């Protein structure tokens, strides 16, 4: 028996089937009726077609100019994450336009591919140096284990932050193994993510844990982190941190790889401890002399907890020409600077919490140390994509979340 191919508009299909199947036109194969007319479709072969009216497609698409605000890779990462959660097509131009080397670097490309892999989506322009991409998220993947290698010393924690919102709103527990750099300038340190960011996100309903398997530094990378997540139970709850309070605990980690003879871990910790002690803070450090990293390197991390539940951290990675004592002093001074502002989060948390606050159900409020371009950029992004209402009065930041729920 011959089948006839037929297209129905959404309006026609709605009238015939009494249900709204979505946006676009659908293709059906139909049986001919006895009177020669086309019968109702009995089998849907292709679901959504790109034949929706142009206005409808534009309304569904997220368009982002990557040269706006900071013009950084963070715009790309968060736009990919939000497009994936919303199931909306993303068109982004001028990627990293304000950076010395515009376009996708290996670490940014890996974030794009990771989001697409987790949703079963499709990408155009996914190449190193590409300044534009087009992304069509899929409806999900059956995988529960993912392994990604950046291939350079690019930040593993930035990739982890990109996919964390997707993992939180997944329907299953997930395990990620990411290889690359763990400690470098201009990226979240692994210890900060493990011991400051994730514990705060846990209060919002994010169930995630981070394990540092092997340190990795610039330029070789080769470090490994493992991230494990569990589905959020319902919507994320807002976070309220309005008073800094008295400092209760101060501690950190002083890590050095293949540098035992130079006593780098001890020297960094001692220098940091001395600066903090002059300001009435007594810090305890865990000294780690590592032999597993592919190269020599170092990193120092310190954090404090206050009586009101604030977590404030600071860190710095080592590099050639950067003395251990200088690293220790810098980390201590960074912590003290944020503390003196009466902020309830540190300079890193100030922008890292924004995306999760936007997805939560209710108003998140906290005090930031100062307005940075990352804070400004992330606020612009959630306002543009999610329509979130935000306000910044002095150093008090408020974000009215949309109460996002998994699709």
**pLDDT tens for residues 145-192?**
999 999 999 999 999 999 999 999 999 999 999 999 999 998 989 999
Query: Structural domain tally of the chain?
Result: 3
Query: Does 86 lie in the same domain as 206?
Result: yes
Query: Does 40 lie in the same domain as 187?
Result: no
Query: Does 40 lie in the same domain as 64?
Result: no
Query: Does 169 lie in the same domain as 87?
Result: yes
| Residue where one domain finishes, among candidates 241, 261, 276 | 241
* 40, part of any domain: yes
73, pLDDT greater than 60: yes
Asked whether the beta carbons of 176 and 146 are under 8 A apart, the reply is yes
255, pLDDT greater than 90: yes
Query: Does 141 lie in the same domain as 192?
Result: yes
* 375, part of any domain: no
Q: How many residues does the chain have?
A: 407
Q: Rounded to whole angstroms, what are the CA distances from 362 to 82, 236, 368? A: 18, 9, 19
Query: Does 209 lie in the same domain as 251?
Result: no
* 233, part of any domain: yes
Query: Does 290 lie in the same domain as 149?
Result: no
Query: Does 318 lie in the same domain as 187?
Result: no
Tokens for 52, please give them.
């929706």
The whole-model pTM stands at 0.85
Query: Does 71 lie in the same domain as 10?
Result: no
Distance CA 406, CA 47 (A): 22
Pick the range with the lowest mean pLDDT from 51-60, 85-94, 201-210, 215-224.
51-60
Query: Does 329 lie in the same domain as 215?
Result: no
Query: Does 132 lie in the same domain as 183?
Result: yes
* 185, part of any domain: yes
Which range marks the domain in which residue 289 is found? 247-340
Q: How many CB atoms lie within 10 A of CB 304?
A: 23
Q: Which distant-in-sequence residues (6+ apart) come within 8 Å of 38 by Cβ?
A: 4, 6, 30, 32
Q: Which of 108, 258, 348, 374 is catalytic?
A: 374
Residue among 116, 149, 113, 109 nearest 130 (CA): 109
Query: Does 234 lie in the same domain as 94?
Result: yes
| CATH number reported for the structural domain that contains residue 265 in this entry | 3.30.360.20
* 391, part of any domain: no
- Residue 406: band (very low, low, confident or very high) from pLDDT cuts 50, 70, 90: confident
Is 374 labeled as catalytic in the residue annotation?
yes
- What per-residue confidence (pLDDT) applies to 60? 76
* 270, part of any domain: yes
């Amino acid at each position: 028996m011959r089948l006839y191919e037929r297209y129905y508009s959404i309006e026609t299909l709605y009238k015939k089937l009494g249900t709204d199947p979505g946006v676009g036109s659908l293709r059906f194969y139909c049986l001919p009726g006895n009177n020669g007319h086309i019968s109702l479709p009995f089998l849907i072969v292709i679901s959504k077609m790109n034949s929706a009216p142009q206005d409808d497609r534009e309304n569904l698409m997220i368009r982002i100019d990557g040269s706006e605000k900071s013009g950084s890779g963070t715009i790309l990462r968060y736009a990919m994450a939000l497009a994936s959660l919303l199931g909306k097509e993303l068109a982004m131009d001028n990627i990293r336009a304000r950076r010395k080397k515009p376009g996708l670097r290996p670490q940014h490309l890996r974030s794009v591919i990771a989001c697409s892999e987790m949703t079963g989506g499709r990408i155009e322009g996914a190449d190193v140096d590409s300044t534009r991409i087009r992304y069509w998220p899929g409806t999900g993947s059956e995988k529960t284990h993912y392994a990604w290698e950046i291939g350079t010393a690019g930040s593993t924690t930035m990739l982890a932050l990109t996919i964390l919102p997707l993992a939180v709103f997944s329907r299953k527990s997930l395990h990620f193994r990411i290889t690359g750099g763990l400690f470098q300038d201009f990226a979240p340190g692994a210890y900060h993510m493990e011991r400051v960011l994730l514990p705060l996100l846990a209060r919002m309903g994010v169930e995630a844990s981070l394990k540092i398997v092997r340190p990795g530094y610039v330029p070789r990378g080769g470090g490994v982190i493992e991230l494990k997540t569990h589905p959020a139970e319902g919507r994320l709850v807002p976070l309220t941190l309005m008073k800094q309070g008295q400092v209760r605990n101060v501690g950190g980690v002083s890590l050095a790889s293949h540098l035992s003879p130079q006593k780098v871990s001890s020297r960094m910790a001692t220098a940091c401890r001395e600066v903090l002690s002059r300001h009435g803070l007594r810090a305890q450090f865990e000294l780690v002399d590592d032999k597993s990293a592919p190269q020599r390197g170092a990193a120092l991390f310190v954090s404090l907890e206050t009586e009101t539940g604030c977590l404030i951290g600071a860190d710095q990675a080592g590099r050639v020409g950067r003395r251990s004592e200088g690293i220790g002093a810098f980390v201590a001074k960074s912590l003290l600077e944020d503390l003196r502002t009466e902020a309830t989060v540190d300079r890193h948390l100030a922008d890292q919490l924004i995306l999760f606050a936007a997805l939560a159900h209710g108003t998140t409020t906290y005090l930031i140390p100062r307005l940075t371009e990352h804070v400004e950029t992330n606020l612009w992004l959630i306002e543009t994509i999610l329509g979130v209402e935000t306000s910044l009065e002095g150093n008090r930041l408020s974000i009215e979340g949309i109460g996002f729920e998994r699709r």
